[in-house]
Chain A
Amino acid sequence: DVKVTQSSRYLVKRTGEKVFLECVQDMDHENMFWYRQDPGLGLRLIYFSYDVKMKEKGDIPEGYSVSREKKERFSLILESASTNQTSMYLCASSPLTGTANQPQHFGDGTRLSIL
């Protein structure tokens, strides 16, 4: 089975801190994604990457950056955390090759609180 591991289930940080959320997948997937999940808003794509060192902005990239130095690891960075970034963050991965109906596989999520 595909395993997508997010480094923390719960995280509490202070306003202005630089925050790193880490995600690792073990299936050699090319695509990796970071979503933000808020009640009533569903999942919104922040950034995604389809190859090492490649990244593309999603729907809500403001206030975030990402890093993909190795194929298996995709990091989400909050450069200067703000209270409106309090949310659940989900990482996902999917293969690039094969048919497009390959699903995305999700991690358990990180519930981030910014105080």
Chain B
Amino acid sequence: AQTVTQSQPEMSVQEAETVTLSCTYDTSESDYYLFWYKQPPSRQMILVIRQEAYKQQNATENRFSVNFQKAAKSFSLKISDSQLGDAAMYFCAYRSVLHTGANSKLTFGKGITLSVRP
């Protein structure tokens, strides 16, 4: 079974600075998908960024980018130019490349709470 580990329960960043959130995972599969989700306080969980394991290029979405190290099974999220609205809980998640039936589920880490200091 796959596992996802987020070892830092909390982090803090100064507004306009850069912060990196760590995530490691364990799997025996060679192809899979990785996701970062954001859950603002009392608001809906939304997708921030996704990465296909077969792609060597790191995914980027505006101020958000990932550092995907397949051999190390590491998938960190970098937030540049942090904004007050980035304050939220962030979850790392894994999904098998076989997207039918039981393999369509996501395996989540425990999450990290990011606070942004003005």
Identify the A interface with B (CB < 8 A). 31, 33, 35, 40-45, 48, 50, 56, 58, 90, 94, 96, 99-104, 106-109
Does B68 interact with chain A (Cβ within 8 Å)? no
Q: Given that A94-B104, A99-B99 are contacting pairs, would A41 and B44 also be in contact in the complex, using a CB cutoff of 8 Å?
A: no
List the interface of chain B (C-beta within 8 A of A): 6, 9, 33, 35, 37, 43-47, 50, 52, 91, 95-102, 104-106, 108-111
**Residues on the A chain within 8 Å of B99, using CB:** 96, 99-100, 102
Q: In the complex, which residues of chain A have a beta carbon less than 8 angstroms from the beta carbon of B111?
A: 42-43
State the Cβ distance, B115 to closest chain A Cβ, in Å: 16
**Cβ B95 vs Cβ A42 within 8 A:** no
Q: Is B110's CB under 8 angstroms from A42's CB?
A: yes
